[in-house]
Amino acid sequence: MLFSPSREPEPQVLIVLESLRTSMRIQALLSRYGVSATPVSLAALDEDRPFTGSRLVVTYTAMIGRVRSALDLPVVNVETQNATR
């Protein structure tokens, strides 16, 4: 496994997506593998919060530049399609 479970208050993975539903699905998937994750709003990025315990950011193509300028963390790019399921 790439990550070990964290006891730190900061999540290991930050999820920066517009869709809260998609963010929650990714969070649930990661938690099944013992990885702590949390959705982060765009406003939180603008607050210059350090997220010192975090190791990775999940975002989408249009946000990569903004995420990289706000956080010094590796980025995983995901693209989703609107689904009615």
d(C-alpha 26, C-alpha 22), whole Å: 6
Give me the domain span that covers residue 35. 13-77
d(C-alpha 85, C-alpha 83), whole Å: 5
For residue 20, tell me if it sits in a domain. yes
CATH for 29? 3.40.50.11420
Along the 85 residues of the chain, how does pLDDT read in single tens digits? 455 554 556 899 999 998 999 999 999 999 999 999 999 988 888 887 778 889 999 999 999 999 998 888 999 999 866 544 4
Residue 76: what pLDDT?
Answer: 95
Question: What's the structural domain count of the chain?
Answer: 1
For residue 19, tell me if it sits in a domain. yes
Closest CA to 1 of 24, 32, 39: 32
For residue 73, tell me if it sits in a domain. yes
For residue 42, tell me if it sits in a domain. yes
